[in-house]
């Protein structure tokens, strides 16, 4: 495995962890819209962590969904739930960021935060099993 790809993957994973931390802080402060956004970016960077190991990338958000499905979901390497989490988080983030009167509930923010935490575990486990690398 290319050392540059490993370094990039670790950098992206750290970004994911930082966004997850921000999501938790925002949630605890009842800043649910901010928590939704930070949770999404945590999920997005976790997925891009996987792309680094594969030597693939697409910087658009919809492109990330497409690459995840084509390289990890269709092959059965990751459960379909990973794609559902990324897609739902993307749609929620778009609504919360751009819809004028979109209200984010505490339950929605909590669900998104829990999904990010779930995906964190999935990505760490996948990387360790597939590449023999600890993040």
Burial class (CB in 10 A: 0-12, 13-18, 19+), 17: middle
Threshold 0.75, pTM exceeds: yes
Residues 6 or more apart in contact with residue 22 via CB below 8 angstroms: 34, 38
**Domain assignment of residue 70, given as a range:** 3-131
Q: Please report, in tens digits, the pLDDT of each residue of the chain (135 residues total).
A: 799 999 999 999 999 999 999 999 999 999 999 999 999 999 999 999 999 999 999 879 999 999 999 999 999 999 999 999 999 999 999 999 999 999 999 999 999 999 999 999 999 999 999 999 999
Q: What Rg value do the Cα atoms of the chain yield, rounded?
A: 15
Residues 6 or more apart in contact with residue 58 via CB below 8 angstroms: 51, 64, 66, 67
Question: Token pair of 104, please?
Answer: 């984010």
CA-CA-CA-CA torsion sign (24, 97, 15, 115): positive
Residues 18 and 14: their CA atoms lie apart, in Å, by 6
pLDDT of residue 128: 97
pLDDT of residue 1: 76
pLDDT of residue 59: 76
The total of structural domains in the chain comes to 1
**CATH assignment at residue 17:** 1.20.120.330
Residues 117 and 17: their CA atoms lie apart, in Å, by 10
């Amino acid at each position: 495995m290319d050392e540059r790809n490993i370094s990039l993957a670790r950098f992206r994973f750290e970004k994911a962890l930082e966004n997850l931390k921000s999501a938790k802080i925002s949630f605890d402060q009842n800043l649910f819209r901010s928590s939704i956004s930070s949770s999404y970016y945590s999920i997005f960077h976790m997925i891009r962590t996987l792309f680094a190991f594969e030597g693939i990338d697409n910087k658009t958000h919809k492109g990330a969904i497409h690459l995840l499905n084509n390289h990890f979901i269709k092959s059965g390497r990751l459960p379909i739930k990973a794609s559902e989490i990324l897609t739902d988080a993307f749609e929620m983030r778009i609504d919360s960021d751009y819809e004028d009167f979109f209200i984010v509930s505490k339950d929605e923010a909590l669900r998104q935060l829990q999904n990010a935490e779930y995906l964190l575990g999935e990505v760490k486990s996948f990387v360790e099993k597939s590449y023999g690398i600890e993040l």
